[in-house]
Amino acid sequence: MRALPFDFPLKREAVALIVIDMQRDFIEPGGFGAALGNDVTRLQAAVEPAARLIAGFRAAGRPVIHTRECHRPDLSDCPPAKRLRGAPSLRIGDPGPMGRILIAGEPGAEIVPACAAMPGEPVIDKPGKGAFYATKLSEILETHGIRQLVFAGVTTEVCVQTTMREANDRGYECLLAEEATESYFPEFKAATLAMIRAQGGIVGWTAPVSDILEALDG
C-alpha cells in the first residue's frame, strides 16, 4: 500500500490496529491534559479519523486493540517521579471533573465514545507510556498471529511513539495513521512523523487513513 518513506508491504492476515489512549482525561476539558496546561481541542481532531480506521478494521475482520494509560486507585503502579513531575493544576490520582485523574475505573480514564471498544476487543490498561510495559500486549499479539501493527491515538510523540518503538524492537512492522494521531504541539507531531520514517523507515511507516482503508479493503 502507499506509504512513506516507501510502500508498506501490507499482509491482511497478519495486521492489527492499536488505538492508543483515546481517553477523556486527555481529550476532553477538565482532564489530565488540560491540567497540564494544554489545549485539548487539538487532540479532538484525531477522534473522527481514528473512528473511521477502527470501523475499517472491524469491517475487514482484523483485530482492534485499545489502550488506556491509567493507574490503580492506591497508585501502587505509579512511580512518585511520574506523579510529582512538573507543576500541573491536578496530579494523577487527584479528584477532577471526571473523577480521579488517570485512575482505572474513573470516568476520565474511559475511552471517548466515538472510539470505544466493542465487546470482545482487548482493552489494555497500562501504567507507562509504552503499551508493552507491564501488560499482556505481547501475548495478545502472539495469540492472534500478528506481525504488523497500524497505530492511531494520542499523543503522537509520547505514548504512540513509545509503543511504536517498543514494537519495532520486537520485530513488528509498524505504520502510523497520520490523521488519526495528534499532539498538543503541532511541531511535535510533525517531528515524530519525520523521525519514524527517517533513514528508510527506522521506526516504521506513515500513511493517510484513506490509503490504509483502501488497502485493507482491496
Active-site residues, by number, are 21, 126, 159
Closest alpha carbon to 26 in 10, 4, 48, 42: 42
Closest alpha carbon to 67 in 162, 134, 153: 153
Closest alpha carbon to 70 in 45, 42, 99: 99
71 and 105 in contact (C-beta within 8 Å)?
A: no
Contacts of 52 (CB under 8 A, 6+ apart): 180, 209, 213
161 and 196 in contact (C-beta within 8 Å)?
A: yes
Closest alpha carbon to 38 in 49, 46, 30: 30
Grid look-up 510502500 returns: 7
Dump the DSSP string for 133-146: TTSSHHHHHHHTT-
Q: Where are the alpha helices (DSSP H) in 134-185?
A: 137-143, 161-169
* DSSP three-state, residue 24: helix
